[in-house]
Structure 1
Amino acid sequence: MLKDKPSSTKSSFGQTLWNFCNVLIGVGSLSLPFAFKYSGWIIGLSLLFFCMVATNYSARILIKCLNYKEGLYTYPDIAMVAYGKFVKFVVLALFTFELIGVAIAFVTLIGDSLYVLFPNTSLVLLKIISWAVLAPLTLIDIKYISYVSFLGLVSTVLLTIVIIIDGVTTHEQPGSLLNPVETELFPINLRSLPLCFGFMIAGFAGHSVFPSIYLKMREPDKFTKIVNVSYTFSIIIYILTAVCGYLMFGNLAEPEITQNIMSMSNHLQILNQSIVWLVAISLFGKFPLVLDPVNLYIETHYLSKVNKWICPHYDCPLFIRFLSRMLISIIVVLISIKFPNFDRIMELIGSFSLYAVSLIFPCLFYLKLYSNNLRWWEWLINLLIILVCAILAILGTIWAFLQN
Structure 2
Amino acid sequence: MCTDKLANGGAAPHCPSDDSPDFEQPLLYAHGGLEAGKDPAAARDHEAQCSPEDGGATSLRTYFNGLNALSGVGLLTIPYALAEGGWLSLVLLPVVAAVCCYTGQLLQRCMSASPAVRGYPDIGALALGGKGRFAVSLSMYAELYLVAIGFLILEGDSLNKLFPGTSLSLGPGIVVSGKHLFVVLVSIVILPTMWLRNLSLLAYISASGVVASVVLVFCVLWAAVVDGVGFQGKGRMLNVSGLPTALGLYTFCYCGHAVFPTLCNSMKEKDKFSKVLVICFVACTLNYGSMAILGYLMYGDDVEPQVTLSLPEGKLISKLAIYTTLINPFSKYALMVTPVATAIEEKLLSGNKRSIKNMLIRAFIVISTVIIALTIPFFGELMAFVGSLLSVMVSMLLPCICYLKIFGTARCSMSEVVLIVMIIVLGSLVAATGTYSSLRNIIHKF
- Fold shared per TM-score above 0.5: yes
SS of match in other structure, 2:86: helix
Other-structure match for 2:58: 12
CA distance in 2, matches of 1:193, 1:240: 19
Alignment of 1:355-370 (within 5 A): 355-370=392-407
Matched, 1:32 2:92: no
Matched, 1:153 2:210: yes
Q: State the 1:7 CA deviation.
A: 8.3
Other-structure match for 2:302: 252
* Structure 1 stretches of at least 4 aligned residues deviating more than 6 Å after TM superposition: 5-8
CA-to-aligned-CA distance 1:279-322 (integer Å, 9 cap, x gap): 11221000000011111111222122xx8xxxxxxx74111111
CA-to-aligned-CA distance 1:188-212 (integer Å, 9 cap, x gap): xx33332222211111111111101
Aligned length: 381
Alignment of 1:304-343 (within 5 A): 304=350, 316-343=353-380
Other-structure match for 1:211: 261
Q: State the 1:265 CA deviation.
A: 4.0
Q: State the 1:167 CA deviation.
A: 1.3
Q: Classify 1:257/1:7 alpha carbon distance in 2 versus 1 (closer, same or farther; 3 Å).
A: closer
Alignment of 1:5-404 (within 5 A): 9-42=55-88, 44-121=89-166, 122=177, 123-140=179-196, 141-171=198-228, 175-177=229-231, 180-187=232-239, 190-261=240-311, 264-265=312-313, 269-304=315-350, 316-371=353-408, 372-403=410-441, 404=444
Matched residue type, 2:280: S
Coordinate RMSD, CA, aligned? 1.8
Kept after mapping to 1: 8 A contact 2:223/2:317:
no
Kept after mapping to 2: 8 A contact 1:152/1:283:
no
Kept after mapping to 2: 8 A contact 1:152/1:279:
no
CA distance in 1, matches of 2:241, 2:317: 38
Q: State the 1:170 CA deviation.
A: 4.8
More helix by share: 1
Q: Classify 1:391/1:345 alpha carbon distance in 2 versus 1 (closer, same or farther; 3 Å).
A: same
Other-structure match for 2:171: none
Matched residue type, 1:258: T
Q: Classify 1:92/1:6 alpha carbon distance in 2 versus 1 (closer, same or farther; 3 Å).
A: closer
Q: State the 1:105 CA deviation.
A: 0.5
Q: State the 1:67 CA deviation.
A: 1.1
SS of match in other structure, 2:323: helix
Matched residue type, 1:36: L
Q: TM-score, normalised by structure 2?
A: 0.82
Q: State the 1:84 CA deviation.
A: 2.1
Matched residue type, 1:24: L
Kept after mapping to 2: 8 A contact 1:197/1:393:
no
CA distance in 2, matches of 1:318, 1:128: 24
Q: TM-score, normalised by structure 1?
A: 0.91
Identity %: 29
Matched residue type, 2:294: C
Unaligned runs of 5+ in 1: 308-314
Matched residue type, 1:183: G
